[in-house]
């Protein structure tokens, strides 16, 4: 009688194939669930890094605008300035086209391994008594 129960639950008293298959299937399900949770966490972290790198890049542009407002001749830029757990670099390049003066600003935000860049071009408008930078657009 015990031999019949053994065969019923385990497939064979000597081998236990059914039990081994069940254990293997459960192990694969648990491993798959752990991999899925890990990937979801990684994706969430990467998405946050992309969002933060973009925000840092935009902050770099804002910091450059503030420096230009203080001194219109400022062209030094920023190098590896810390902000919100990341860093930003800002490069400025003066150009003259068709008699107009332009200032190209490139801000790069870095968060972890993610790099995001924003660019802006300003055009210098001269009047009799003053000069002002006009924003040509941000990309």
Bridge-based pairing state of the strands 131-138 and 86-97: unpaired
Q: In whole angstroms, what is the distance from residue 81 CA to residue 93 CA?
A: 19
| Distinct helix (H) and strand (E) counts, the chain | 2, 5
Could you tell me which residues come within 8 angstroms of residue 42 by beta carbon, excluding any fewer than 6 positions away?
none
What is the pLDDT, as a whole number, of residue 86?
95
- Segments making up each domain of the chain, as ranges: 15-138
Could you tell me which residues come within 8 angstroms of residue 101 by beta carbon, excluding any fewer than 6 positions away?
94, 95, 123, 124
The H or E element containing residue 18 is helix 17-70
> At 112, is the secondary structure helix, strand, or coil?
coil
The alpha carbon of residue 99 and the mean position of all alpha carbons in its chain are separated, in whole angstroms, by 39
What is the pLDDT, as a whole number, of residue 19?
84
What is the pLDDT, as a whole number, of residue 129?
79
Q: In whole angstroms, what is the distance from residue 80 CA to residue 72 CA?
A: 22
The pLDDT profile of the chain, 139 residues, written as one tens digit per residue, is 455 555 555 555 556 788 888 888 899 998 888 998 888 878 888 899 999 999 999 999 999 999 988 887 888 999 999 999 999 999 999 988 888 889 999 999 999 999 999 999 998 888 777 878 888 877 7
């Amino acid at each position: 009688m015990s031999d019949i129960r053994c065969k019923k639950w385990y497939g064979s008293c000597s081998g236990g194939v059914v039990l081994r298959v069940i254990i293997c299937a459960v192990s694969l399900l648990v491993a798959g669930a752990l991999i899925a949770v890990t990937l979801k966490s990684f994706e969430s972290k990467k998405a946050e890094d992309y969002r933060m790198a973009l925000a840092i890049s935009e902050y770099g542009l804002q910091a450059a605008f503030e420096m230009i407002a203080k001194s219109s001749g400022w062209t030094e830029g920023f190098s590896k300035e810390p902000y919100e757990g990341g860093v930003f670099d800002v490069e400025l390049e003066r150009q003259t086209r068709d008699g107009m003066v332009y200032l190209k600003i490139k801000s790069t935000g870095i968060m972890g391994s993610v790099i995001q860049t924003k660019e802006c071009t300003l055009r210098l408008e001269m009047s009799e008594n003053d000069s002002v930078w006009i924003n040509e657009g941000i990309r």
